[in-house]
Amino acid sequence: MAKDNEKIIQQNMLKPDGLNPKVKYSIAAVLLALLLLGIWWLEQILPPSSIIFTVLKKGAIYSLIAVSLNLLNGFTGLFSLGQAGFMLIGAYTYAVLTIPPESRAAVYMYYDGGIIDFALPVPVAMLLAGCLAGLCGFLIGLPVLRLKSDYLAIATLGFAEIIRAIVQYDKLGPITNASNLLRSFPVFRSTLFPFIVAGLCIAVICLLINSSYGRAFKAIRDDEIAAEAMGINLFAHKEMALVTSAFFAGIGGALLAMFQMMVQARAFTSAMTYEILLIVVIGGIGSITGSIIASFLFIACSEWWLRFLDEVQIINGFQLPFMRSGFRMVVFSIIIMFVVLFYRKGIMGTKEFSIDGIYKFFRRLFTGEGKKPKEQKGGGAA
């Protein structure tokens, strides 16, 4: 399998009919600029309360978190269910460090204003949020990464629960406000902010996946024993994947806290991890673009498109059956089960959505040539 990968990588390098990298970069730059411009323009013409911005913001944040989980589950083959714990650390680190001192008395009302009396600038706090989550990932990895598949899953899930309990411990109240809400920290108003931050983070993850480390991750996923025989240090690489994933989940958590304008530990349960896991599954385990598409779809459906299912609909005096509060989630979970059972690859499988791909698709479409052997089969490579 590792050998196959090698071949694919070579193929990708040669890329006989791919686009010239320079052209690709410029297309990317143009598209990126267009996207940001588009959001900026939307913010000008639509009222800020529009549901689109909710979907876009939350979708961008969930993309980052889903991609960070995919790095573990899809690319390294570590079935981790600890993402909610890392998000929690990120969200709390950010919130605790940025609440302005003048608001602390109100927020920490049960703890005499808490013991922290400074506020860090937003970028520093976000970075720290990621770092602390990464550090936790490192510490958790030490014992846990020896475990295999489902034991690993349940152990990481357990760690997330332990983290949640520690944060809620009332002796830590002066720092974490125990199990009470944290709020009044700086938040973002513009949709551009989560897009830029999440975009940058995902770009870094992509770079990592395409580096030699990324190839090692995939080798571990495909066959641990073979990878070890090839001289890959299993533990070091797994640890690295876990720390990276935790770091970005932490930043995602900080973004989520900003988006929600408040953060409370009890929300970060295993149900939250399951939700992200299901996004990854829908998008395709091992596909970054898949995770991103799935995040936006998932959020758009749950916040917006499927909302009508929750309301009693009356058409021509006839009340449609089933439609009442909660129906949306039933439809949703049936769709998810359908994907899991019959469409196991998800939207993208392990493939990626790329400019090259579109280019080839169109070329095939117009010239009827360029039949290439199945590309990028060996994993989310590319």
Q: Which residues within the stretch 298-327 sit at the binding site for other proteins (CB under 8 A)? A: 300, 303, 307, 310, 324-327
Tokens at 76, concatenated: 């390294």
Instruction: Check binding of 16 to other proteins (CB under 8 A).
Output: no
Mark the segment that binds other proteins (CB under 8 A) among 115-123, 130-138, 257-265, 363-371: 257-265
**265 in Cβ contact with 166 (< 8 Å):** no
Q: At what angle do helices 83-98 and 270-283 cross, to 10 degrees?
A: 120
Instruction: Check binding of 274 to other proteins (CB under 8 A).
Output: yes
Mark the segment that binds other proteins (CB under 8 A) among 122-130, 141-149, 234-242, 366-374: 141-149
Mark the segment that binds other proteins (CB under 8 A) among 127-135, 238-246, 247-255, 268-276: 268-276
Size of the site for other proteins (CB under 8 A): 110
Residue 104: C-alpha distances to residues 90, 107, 199, 261 (Å): 19, 5, 32, 15
Q: Least distance from C-beta 106 to other proteins, angstroms?
A: 6
DSSP string, 149-189: HHHHHHHHHHHHHHHHHHHH-GGGHHHH-TTS-EE------
CA angle at residue 329 from 326 to 330, to 5 degrees? 90
Complex with other proteins: residue 124 or 325, whichever CB lies closer: 325
- Continuous H helices in 49-191: 51-70, 83-98, 101-107, 122-144, 149-168, 173-176
Q: Least distance from C-beta 243 to other proteins, angstroms?
A: 18
Instruction: Check binding of 270 to other proteins (CB under 8 A).
Output: yes
Q: Least distance from C-beta 208 to other proteins, angstroms?
A: 10
Q: Least distance from C-beta 79 to other proteins, angstroms?
A: 5
- The residue from 70, 293, 298, 379 that contacts other proteins (CB under 8 A) is 293
Q: Least distance from C-beta 327 to other proteins, angstroms?
A: 6
- The residue from 124, 139, 236, 261 that contacts other proteins (CB under 8 A) is 261
Instruction: Check binding of 145 to other proteins (CB under 8 A).
Output: no
Complex with other proteins: residue 110 or 235, whichever CB lies closer: 110
- Continuous H helices in the chain: 2-14, 21-45, 51-70, 83-98, 101-107, 122-144, 149-168, 173-176, 192-210, 212-222, 224-229, 234-260, 270-283, 288-300, 327-342, 355-367
Q: Which residues within the stretch 227-256 sit at the binding site for other proteins (CB under 8 A)? A: none
Complex with other proteins: residue 128 or 183, whichever CB lies closer: 183
Q: Which residues within the stretch 70-99 sit at the binding site for other proteins (CB under 8 A)? A: 73, 79
Any idea what DSSP says for residue 353?
A: -
Complex with other proteins: residue 119 or 128, whichever CB lies closer: 119
Instruction: Return phi, psi of residue 278, to 5°.
Output: -65, -35
CA angle at residue 251 from 246 to 257, to 5 degrees? 120
Mark the segment that binds other proteins (CB under 8 A) among 112-120, 125-133, 140-148, 232-240: 140-148
How many Cβ atoms from other residues are within 10 Å of residue 170's Cβ?
Answer: 13
Closest CA to 350 of 371, 374, 367, 373: 374
Mark the segment that binds other proteins (CB under 8 A) among 124-132, 143-151, 231-239, 244-252: 143-151
Instruction: Check binding of 281 to other proteins (CB under 8 A).
Output: yes
**43 in Cβ contact with 57 (< 8 Å):** no
Q: Least distance from C-beta 22 to other proteins, angstroms?
A: 11
